[in-house]
Structure 1
Amino acid sequence: MRPAGGGGLGSAFQLIIAGALALLILVSQTIFIVPAGTVAVVTTLGKVTGGQRNPGANFKVPLVQAISYFDVRTQVRPEQFSTLTKDLQVIEATATVKYAVKPVEAGRIFETIATDNSQIYARVIQPSLLKALKSVFSQYELVTIATEWNSISELVQDKVAGELSKFNYVIVQGLDLTGLQIAEEYRAAIEQKQIAEQQLLRAQTEVKIADQEAKRYEILNQSLDDQVLYKLFLDKWDGQTSVVPALPGLAGGSPSVIVNGRR
C-alpha cells in the first residue's frame, strides 16, 4: 500500500514542472533577439506598431505580435542589362549597385512595398536602376559611350540616386559599370576615332610648344641691344681671343672691330 499523501506531493511536483515549462515558453515567445546589421518591424494583428527595433534583446506580446527582419547593411547586387544608344545601337553591360536600407524606413517599407527583406531589390532598386540606365544611355551615341565610360557611370549613379530619393527607402552608396559588349565593326571604328583624337591632341600640343618658343625668342630679341651683347661677350671672353668688339656707343657710327691687334 502507498503512503497517505504521496500522490499529492507527486502531483504538486508535476504541476511545478509544467508551470516552469509554460513560463519558459512564454518568456521565449516574449523576448526576441535582433541580430547586428538588421532591424525588426513589429506588427500587431497585421498592423505595424511602433518604430523599428534595433539590434539586441526586444520584447513583444506572444500570439498577438509578429516580427519581420530587414537587413540594413550595404548590399552589392550586379544587374546585367541591354539597352539602346542614341544612334540605336544595342549594348550590353553589367551595373553593380551598392545600397543600404534606411533603418528608420523599415516600417514604411513593410507597409507600402515589401514585407520581406528579399523583396526589396526587385521592388525598390531594380526598377529605378533599369529606368536610369535606359534614360542615360539613350542620350549618347555608341562612340561617346565607349570613350567616356567612367563619366557615364557617374551619371547613371546620380540618376539612380535621384530616382530612389523620390521614395526615400534606401541610400545609393555606389555604382559600377563593367563588361561593355558591342559589335566588332563598331569596336574598330571606336579605336580609329581614339587614335585620331590622340594624334590631334599631339599636334595641338606641338603647335602650342612652338608658339611658346617663338614668343620667348621674340621677347629675348627685343631685350637685346649693343650694351647687353657687349656685356654678355665680356662675361664669356677668355682674354685671348683676337677678335674683340669695340665698346658700343662710340661716336662715328657702328662699333669697330679689332682683329689681331691691341689697344
Structure 2
Amino acid sequence: MKNAKMRTGIILGVIVLLVLIVGVGAVTVVPAGHTGVVVTMGKVSDRVLDEGMHFKMPFVQQVVMMNNKIQKTEIDSNGVSKDLQTVSSGVAINYHINKDDSAVIYRTIGEGYADTVLQPAIQESMKAITAQYTAEELITKRSAVGEEIGATLAEKVQEYGILIDKFNIINFDFSAEFNDAIEQKQVAEQNKLRAETEKEQKIIEAQADAEQKVIAAKAEADAIRQKAEAEADANEKINASLNENVLKYQQIEKWNGEYPNVVSSDSSILVGVSSGDDTAAAADAANSAN
C-alpha cells in the first residue's frame, strides 16, 4: 500500500514536471529591439514575431532572435586613387536590418550578415569611389566623397534587407612620399601668399605716401595762392587809398631837409638834393614850383 502511494506520487511528480517543461517550451519572449524568426523542424517560416510573449509548439518549433537595433561597425580599407596614389582609409558605419526582412536574412544569409554581406560591400564601395578622385580631391572633397560612398554602399546592401543609417570616413592616409609632397606644396603656397600680402602692403603704403604728398602739395599751393591773393588785395586797397595830396605829404614826411638841385614841374620828383636845414623853405620852394 505504501509502495503504491509512493509510485503514484512519483508519477504525478513526473507528469507535473513534464507539464512545466512543455509549458515553458510553448512560450517564448521576444526582447525589445528584436524580432523572432520561427523555425519549424528546421524550416524557416515567413512569419516574424514582434516584441513580447508568444506561444509556439514545444520541441517542434524554435524562435531565433534577430537584432533590429542600430549597430555599429568599423573597418579599414585600402584602395587606389585616380592618380594612382595608395589610399588607406578607416570608416565607421551605423546600420540596422529591416524588421520585415528578418526571416529572409536568416534564411539566406544567417546571423553573420555583417561579415558575409556588409563588410565586403564596404570594401567594394570604398575602392570604386576612391578610384574616381585624385588623392588631393579625396582630402579637399572629403565630405562629398563620404556621401557618395555611403550612397553606393546603401544601394548595394539594401537588397539584402540591411539599411545604412550613417556613414563616416574616420581618416584618409597616403604614402609618405605623397604626404611630403602635400606638405611642401602647402609651404610653397603659404610663402607665395605671404609674398603677395607683403607686396600688396607695400603698394598700399606707397599709395598712402603718394596721397599724403599730393595733399601736402595741394595745401602748400593753396597757402601760396591765398597769401598772393591777400597781398594783391592789400596792394589794391593801398593803391586805392593813395591820392596826390597823400603822396605829397609822404614826400614831405620822408624829406631829409636837403634842398633839391633840380625840381621838376611834377612835385613828386626831386633830384639832386643839396644840404640845408630849413624845412619851411623847402616847402615854399615846392609850392613856388607849382
TM-score, with length taken from structure 2:
0.63
Q: State the distance in 2 between where 1:173 and 1:188 align.
A: 36
**Match runs of 1:97-136 below 5 Å:** 97-114=93-110, 116=111, 119-136=112-129
The one-letter code of the counterpart of 2:151 is D
Q: State the distance in 2 between where 1:36 and 1:25 align.
A: 25
The one-letter code of the counterpart of 2:165 is Q
The one-letter code of the counterpart of 1:158 is A
Q: Give the C-alpha shift of residue 187 in structure 1.
A: 1.6
**1:6 and 2:6 equivalent?**
no
The match for 1:149 among 142, 148, 157 is: 142
The one-letter code of the counterpart of 1:101 is I
**1:190 and 2:182 equivalent?**
yes
Please say which of residues 89-98 and 62-71 is displaced more in the overlay.
62-71
Please say which of residues 181-190 and 77-86 is displaced more in the overlay.
181-190
Q: State the distance in 2 between where 1:195 and 1:147 align.
A: 17
Secondary structure at the counterpart of residue 59 of structure 2: coil
Q: Tell me if structure 1 keeps the 8 A contact 2:150–2:167.
A: yes
Rg (Cα) greater in structure: 2
**Structure 1 counterpart of 2:156:** 163
Q: State the distance in 1 between where 2:51 and 2:230 align.
A: 100
Q: State the distance in 1 between where 2:186 and 2:143 align.
A: 16
User: Is there any run of 5+ residues in structure 2 with no aligned partner, and where?
Assistant: 201-222, 224-228, 234-290
**Structure 2 counterpart of 1:55:** 51
Q: Give the C-alpha shift of residue 87 in structure 1.
A: 1.2
**1:34 and 2:26 equivalent?**
no
Q: Give 4+ residue runs of structure 1 displaced > 6 Å after superposition.
A: 195-200, 258-261
Q: State the distance in 1 between where 2:143 and 2:177 align.
A: 22
Query: Can you list the C-alpha shifts for 1:185-235, whole angstroms capped at 9, x where unaligned?
Result: 2123324555677878xx8xxx9xxxxxxxxxxxxxxxxxxxxxxxxxxxx
Aligned Cα root-mean-square deviation (Å): 3.3
Q: Give the C-alpha shift of residue 135 in structure 1.
A: 0.8
Query: Can you list the C-alpha shifts for 1:44-89, whole angstroms capped at 9, x where unaligned?
Result: 1222224211222122112211222211111111111111111111
Q: Tell me if structure 1 keeps the 8 A contact 2:105–2:160.
A: no
- Cα distance change, pair 16–177 in 1 and its aligned pair in 2 (3 A): same
Q: Give the C-alpha shift of residue 184 in structure 1.
A: 2.4
**Structure 2 counterpart of 1:44:** 40
User: Is there any run of 5+ residues in structure 1 with no aligned partner, and where?
Assistant: 208-242, 244-257
Please say which of residues 32-41 and 72-81 is displaced more in the overlay.
32-41
Secondary structure at the counterpart of residue 187 of structure 1: helix
Query: Can you list the C-alpha shifts for 1:96-124, whole angstroms capped at 9, x where unaligned?
Result: 1110011110111122222x2xx111112
Secondary structure at the counterpart of residue 32 of structure 2: coil
Q: State the distance in 2 between where 1:259 and 1:180 align.
A: 80
Q: State the distance in 1 between where 2:39 and 2:139 align.
A: 50
Q: Tell me if structure 2 keeps the 8 A contact 1:146–1:190.
A: no
- Cα distance change, pair 192–158 in 1 and its aligned pair in 2 (3 A): farther
Query: Can you list the C-alpha shifts for 1:3-33, whole angstroms capped at 9, x where unaligned?
Result: xx33333222222211110101111211122
The one-letter code of the counterpart of 1:94 is G
Secondary structure at the counterpart of residue 143 of structure 1: helix
TM-score, with length taken from structure 1:
0.69
Aligned length: 209
Q: State the distance in 2 between where 1:155 and 1:50 align.
A: 34
**Structure 2 counterpart of 1:18:** 14
The match for 1:84 among 80, 83, 88 is: 80
Identity of aligned residues (%): 24
Q: State the distance in 1 between where 2:173 and 2:21 align.
A: 58
**1:64 and 2:60 equivalent?**
yes
Secondary structure at the counterpart of residue 47 of structure 2: coil
Q: State the distance in 2 between where 1:157 and 1:13 align.
A: 67
Secondary structure at the counterpart of residue 51 of structure 1: strand
Q: State the distance in 2 between where 1:135 and 1:183 align.
A: 19
**Structure 2 counterpart of 1:74:** 70
**Structure 2 counterpart of 1:231:** none
Q: State the distance in 2 between where 1:88 and 1:30 align.
A: 61
Q: State the distance in 2 between where 1:175 and 1:197 align.
A: 33
Q: State the distance in 2 between where 1:88 and 1:147 align.
A: 17
